[in-house]
Structure 1
Amino acid sequence: MPVTTRNTDTRRIILDTAQRIMARKGYSAVGINEVLAEAGVPKGSFYHYFASKDAFGEALLQSYFADYLTDMDGILAPSGESAAERLMAYWQQWRQTQSVEECQGKCLAVKLGAEVADLSESMRLALKEGTSAVVDRIERTIADGVEDGSLSIDGEARVVAQALYDMWLGASVMAKIHRSLEPLDTVTTVTRKLLHL
């Protein structure tokens, strides 16, 4: 196996392992040694793959959003369903991922957003880029829904998309605090009203 493939695979294993651990514990509570031990990677090799813990955090978020956006694109891709149906399927998927482990969820934007935005400028920018890409996709789907007549909005698609994303992030945090799906159920109802569904 070529060295570059092995390096890429090992780097990916480290990132995937860190994502699983940090989705439960957060960023600051997890040491690099814990991630490497869980990944089965020798301790001394971390800096071969990442220049610093900050660079590692940035790579972690970039990797997370790349995977997230691929999944999101699959849900929102034009199909036999209306844009409104595809968008509501996305929100349902969001609800399901946030309902696991007593509403502790799996979304790193929810879990790490407030924590790392103050710790690292590069991680904050990775979060900003990733969340902006999510809002871009929501906006496009809303615009498609207005065009196909499956939904309607008051105002601009971008403003509605940003408001929806912000509400879902907030509801996900509240679901974690209350260990209840009620905030996600409430935001589902409000989403339907904003989209006139």
Structure 2
Amino acid sequence: MTSSIRLDKRDLILAKGAEVMTRRGYHGAGVQEIVQAAGVPKGSFYHYFASKEDFALQALQQVYAPRLARYAEALANPALSPRQRILDYYAELVAHFARQERLEYHCFIGSLSFEMAELSPAIGAEVDAILQRSADILQACLEQALAAGELAADEDCGNLAGFIGHAWQGALTRLKVASNTRVLDDFLRRLERLLAA
């Protein structure tokens, strides 16, 4: 029972702290603000995390492990063609942003990568590993699309997966500046053409 309570408190700090860090950035999010958001004493933070950098590393894993699992599941759906899996996944992400009452930028990995990738090699390496896992998931689906004749026979699936991932991250960055989803709609239209055989 005690270990469950400890795990819940750690998860709470990670979830609330990641939200704070996404909004305020790594340097703008102090430990005090993180624990206030989680509603726990400051000592709890240092019980679970050796430093703010350690917190950020654990938060990246906490936030992105389930997201990568959902991505892998969506891109492995046998009920749809490989091409349709990819298009449906990104269409749902775009629809998610369009449904927001107040459009906000919610990309934790984007926030950390811009601010910390060069300053903290450990955070930079974790961000790169997460983005690479995402690209690997997409590449596997693109290879299935290639085998099914949904892509040009000479398509380089690794390069294409990287390009799509970079384009999506760029679209999210532009979303932060533009505060409307037109850039995401543009991404989706271009993705449809990009994946045409």
Q: List aligned pairs for 1:1-197, cutoff 5 A.
A: 1=1, 3-99=2-98, 100=100, 102-152=102-152, 154-196=154-196
TM-score normalised by length of structure 1: 0.90
Contact 1:58–1:126 (8 Å) recurs in 2 = yes
How far off its partner does 1:61 sit? 0.9
What is the one-letter code of the residue matched to 1:177? V
Identify the range of structure 1 (69-78 vs 149-158) with the bigger mean alpha-carbon deviation: 149-158
SS in 2 for 1:28: coil
- Quick one: distance in 1 between partners of 2:103 and 2:111? 11
How far off its partner does 1:102 sit? 4.6
* Contiguous gaps of at least 5 residues in structure 2: none
- Quick one: distance in 2 between partners of 1:79 and 1:154? 24
Percent sequence identity is 29
What is the one-letter code of the residue matched to 1:85? Q
What is the one-letter code of the residue matched to 1:130? I
- Quick one: distance in 2 between partners of 1:145 and 1:75? 14
Contact 1:97–1:107 (8 Å) recurs in 2 = no
* Partner deviation per Cα, 1:38-87 (whole Å, 9 max, x = no partner): 21211112111001111111111111110211221232222211111111
Q: 1:96 to 1:153 in 2, by over 3 A?
A: farther
- Quick one: distance in 2 between partners of 1:103 and 1:151? 34
- Quick one: distance in 2 between partners of 1:101 and 1:133? 31
* Contiguous gaps of at least 5 residues in structure 1: none
How far off its partner does 1:93 sit? 2.8
Contact 1:98–1:107 (8 Å) recurs in 2 = no
Q: 1:93 to 1:105 in 2, by over 3 A?
A: farther
Contact 1:145–1:151 (8 Å) recurs in 2 = yes
How far off its partner does 1:153 sit? 6.6
- Quick one: distance in 2 between partners of 1:152 and 1:106? 34
Aligned residues: 196
- Quick one: distance in 2 between partners of 1:95 and 1:179? 13
What is the one-letter code of the residue matched to 2:175? A
CA RMSD after TM alignment: 1.9
